[in-house]
Amino acid sequence: MNDLREAPIGVFDSGIGGLTVAREIMRQIPEERIVYFGDTARVPYGSKSGKTIIRYSCQIARFLKTRGVKVIVVACNTASAYALEALQQEMDIPVIGVVRPGARVAARESIGGNIGVIGTAATVGSHIYQKYIQSLRPEAQVFEKACPLFVPLVEEGWRKDPVTRIVAERYLQEMKERKVDTLILGCTHYPLLRSMVADIMGPDVVLVNPAYETAMELKQLLRRENIENCGGSKIEENPYEFFVSDQAEKFRTFADSILPIDITTAKQVPIEEY
């Protein structure tokens, strides 16, 4: 049991977006160690088929298991929508996604039940947010909008570029017309555009960041399973490890800019071998 308590949390995403989830875990559960994998060779997942997303996700989960993780957090909405069930069946450790935590908060917090969801084409096409929100709040109106250009714009480092602002205004116009009172940032890349989205949508719209909600759900899970780290294992020099499938230096530079720690290395892994 002691070994399990001191084991790291596995976190993965199609690229850098899941770093927003890793960042929230660092903030909310600072005593936990993290092993992060970014599938930078195969990003974006949002344009891939469900079958491909499941294959990629299972490869990554197998790799994370070799690093001795005690829980896996699928820090990607698209992978959560398509692969979570397959991962939970294959893995002998808990696996949680980012969709349900965010959907629960939106269903609870929306005043008028007018909820918007922005995400990748695959996430929106799965209608997973709509299904889950309406299972909790049947009268809710859920409007979904695919924003496929957001991920490459964020990955390119254009978070505050005028081009990104123009794209965001065009994507969000429909949400404004539908007068949504709550908007779910349904891709882990999107919290990196939060201030821009908030400015466009206005102060009356509540933005839901599933990254924060997922970190809080993880905290409850660790406590419930009695596998939370009591702080004894972070005496080592580097409690956070980062792995990618490509472009390690580009990933490291970006991670350095958004995480509250210095990233010294990101190691490349031949993920197709898993």
Residues of each annotated binding site for substrate: 13-14, 45-46, 77-78, 188-189
Active-site residue, 147 included: no
**Residues tagged in the binding site annotation:** 13-14, 45-46, 77-78, 188-189
| Structural contact between residues 152 and 189, judged by C-beta atoms closer than 8 angstroms | no
- Cross-strand bridge partners of residue 267: 243
One-character DSSP codes across 222-252 = HHHTT----STTTTSS--EEEEESS-HHHHH
| Structural contact between residues 258 and 23, judged by C-beta atoms closer than 8 angstroms | yes
- CA 55 – CA 64 distance, rounded (Å): 14
Pairing of strands 206-208, 240-244: unpaired
User: Residue 252: which residues within 8 A CB-CB, separation 6 or more?
Assistant: 242, 263, 264, 265, 266
Q: What is the length of the chain?
A: 274
Residues with a known catalytic role: 76, 187
